Amino acid sequence: MGRKENTDRWFMRVSRWGLVLFVAFPVLWSACSGSKNEMVKGFDDATEVPTLRTLDVETLISDSGITRYRIKAPEWLIYENAKEPYWYFPRGLHVEKFDSVFATEALIQGDTATYFKTKQLWRLDKNVRIENIKEEVFLTSQIFWDQRKREIYSDSFIHIETPDEVIEGYGFTSNEQMTRYRIRRTSGIFPIKRDSVASDSSRVDSVAPKPVPAVRAKQRKKS
C-alpha cells in the first residue's frame, strides 16, 4: 500500500454492510488486520493512532452462531496497535441485546464507550441508561459489562426507576439482562404514589404520562 499525502492516510473507511466483517467477537479479527502496520506507517507512536475508523455504524453481532446484539454508533475507532487493543466510541453507543429467539432483552446506551478486546470487557461512561424487560430504567455515570462472566457492574451512584418505586444507591452487580441485580449500598427507596398524583388536579397538566419503555414496545411489535 503506497503512502497518501493527506492527513487521513492512516484511516480506512468501510461500508455499513462490510463492517460486519470486523465485529464478530473475536474470530474474524485476525483475518481482517493484515494491513494494520501499513495503515499507521509514518507515525512515531502507532499505538495512539486508530487502525480503523468507521462512521454511522449500525450492525448485528453474533455469538456462537446466534445474533445477540445490535450496535449503533456515530463513530467507531479501533486501536489494534495499542498495548491492550481496544475499540473506542467517542460520540456515544447504543446496544440492543437479544435473546435466543431475537426478542429484545435490554437496551444500553452511553455518551462514550470503550471495548477492551482481550478482556472482552465494555466500559460505558457519562449518561449511561439501561432498560430491561421488566420496565425498569437504570441511570448512572459508568458501568462495566464483562462478557466473559456475563455480568454488568458499577461502583458509581445508581438511580433505578421501577413501575412501583425509585431506588437509589452506590454500586451494583447484575446479570446481562438487568433483571437480577444487587445494590451494594442503598441510600433511598421512594414509593411511587400514582393515586395521589392522579387525584391532584392542579398537577395533571404538568405531569407527563409515563412512556412505554422501548424494550416492551419492541416485544409487542414482534409478537
Residue 60 pLDDT greater than 80, yes or no = yes
**Predicted pLDDT of residue 18:** 35
Q: Tell me the domain boundaries of the chain.
A: 52-191
Q: What DSSP string describes 105-133?
A: EEEEEESEEEEETTTTEEEEEEEEEEEET
Contact 177, 163 (CB under 8 A): no
Question: pLDDT tens digit string along 95-154?
Answer: 998 887 788 888 999 999 999 999 999 999 999 999 999 989 999 999 999 999 999 999
Give the model's confidence band at 43: pLDDT under 50 very low, under 70 low, under 90 confident, else very high.
low
Distances (CA, A) of 150 to 122, 144, 182, 207: 11, 11, 15, 38
Question: Residue 13 — very low, low, confident or very high, per pLDDT cuts 50/70/90?
Answer: very low
Report the distance separating Cα 222 and Cα 185, nearest Å. Answer: 38
Residue 176: phi, psi to the nearest 5? -65, -25
- CATH number of this structure's domain 52-191, picked from the four choices 3.40.50.150, 2.40.50.140, 3.40.1080.10, 2.60.450.10: 2.60.450.10
Name the DSSP letter for residue 28.
Answer: T
Q: Are strands 104-110 and 121-132 parallel, antiparallel or unpaired?
A: antiparallel
Task: Give 152-195 pLDDT, tens digit per residue.
Answer: 999 999 999 999 999 999 999 999 889 999 999 999 989 886 55
Give the contacts of 204 (CB within 8 A, at least 6 positions apart). Answer: 198
Taking only the tens place, the pLDDT of each residue in 62-88 is: 877 778 889 999 999 999 999 999 999
In angstroms, the CA 57 to CA 132 distance is 23
